[in-house]
Amino acid sequence: MTFSSKLHRAQELASSVVCVGLDPDPDRFPDQFRDLPAPDAARRFCKAIIEATHEVACAYKPNLAFFEALGREGLGVLEDVVSSIPPDRISIADGKRGDIGNTAGRYAIAVFENLSFDACTVSPYMGRDAVSPFLAWPEKAAFALVRTSNPSAGEVQDLDVGDVPLYFRIARMLETWSSGEPGEIGFVVGATDTTILADIRDQFPDIPLLIPGIGAQGGDPEAVMATAIAGTGPIVVTSSRSILYAGQGVDFADRARDATIRLRDDLNRGR
């Protein structure tokens, strides 16, 4: 099954385009996990979030930085968390890797073979060499950074490279680099600038989009969906902190589920 087919099925099952970002931050864990060692707390916290939200989310996106920050057990915790994502949901390794070919190949083995992720995020700054090793698996996808949602995104990505902004030129290159490769390419495009999002959707209507920046970062759900429906490629809207840390008490998992449902419904109203 291709990545897009699996994603489509997961979105149908959950009636949801919501991806829950897993950024386990020990300083923000619910009170009941405070006395546990951080790796154990992170493992239990993430598993509880997945258990509580999987009926209303199509995908999970572990943020590799937060697992690496757990110390030497970090990758073990990540492996345990990924294995608890239901097989009919999508898993996306968010590491934004980008390195020379033989190194990119190692990152691809780590996320796709060792950890069985369906997709990962990659950075295009080093060119085709850094992206194509992630496109060697027919059932996997690589979401490349095109126009991100952080405040300083535009400093580099919006630079004028002749007739178009850099992010747009990179999007065109990514389309070329992925042509004929077994795996699928997707774009990371933030929700924080809906004009840019609409423009990319218009120019690349069949490319899957991973859209961060909803929630804590300020993007508007209805505006995102209004532009997203202008194309045919699947879109995945990802939110982390506003779901994970919706509650601090014993009902934290229910609060995370409620927050996921609210976001799902806000998005579905825009469809």
Q: Which of residues 6-65 bind a second copy (CB under 8 A)?
A: 23, 25, 63, 65
In angstroms, give the least distance from the CB of 239 to a second copy: 13
Asked if 175 touches a second copy (CB under 8 A), the answer is no
In angstroms, give the least distance from the CB of 39 to a second copy: 11
Instruction: Identify the burial level of 86 via C-beta atoms within 10 angstroms of its C-beta, where 0-12 means exposed, 13-18 middle and 19 or more buried.
Output: middle
Q: Which of residues 199-228 bind a second copy (CB under 8 A)?
A: none
Q: Segment near a second copy (CB under 8 A), from 42-50, 164-172, 199-207, 262-270?
A: 164-172
Nearer to a second copy, 170 or 256 (CB): 170
In angstroms, give the least distance from the CB of 28 to a second copy: 11
Query: Given candidates 30, 62, 74, 208, which one binds a second copy under the rule CB under 8 A?
Result: 74
Residues in the chain: 271
Active-site residue, 96 included:
yes
In angstroms, give the least distance from the CB of 148 to a second copy: 5
- Token code pair at residue 221: 């759900």
Q: What are phi and psi of 165, to 5 degrees?
A: -70, 155
Q: Which amino acid is at 54?
A: H
Query: Given candidates 128, 139, 194, 248, which one binds a second copy under the rule CB under 8 A?
Result: 128
In angstroms, give the least distance from the CB of 250 to a second copy: 26
Asked if 2 touches a second copy (CB under 8 A), the answer is no
Asked if 156 touches a second copy (CB under 8 A), the answer is yes
Q: Segment near a second copy (CB under 8 A), from 163-171, 203-211, 248-256, 260-268?
A: 163-171
In angstroms, give the least distance from the CB of 5 to a second copy: 28
Q: How far is CA 75 from the centre of its chain?
A: 18
State the catalytic residue, choosing from 47, 61, 96, 140.
Answer: 96
Q: Which of residues 130-149 bind a second copy (CB under 8 A)?
A: 130, 145, 148-149
Nearer to a second copy, 99 or 181 (CB): 99
- Token code pair at residue 109: 């083995």
Asked if 229 touches a second copy (CB under 8 A), the answer is no
Q: What is the CA radius of gyration of the chain?
A: 18
- Rule CB under 8 A: which residues touch a second copy? 23, 25, 63, 65-66, 68-69, 71-76, 78-79, 96-104, 106-107, 109-110, 114, 123-130, 145, 148-157, 159-162, 166, 169-170, 173
Residues acting as catalytic residues: 96
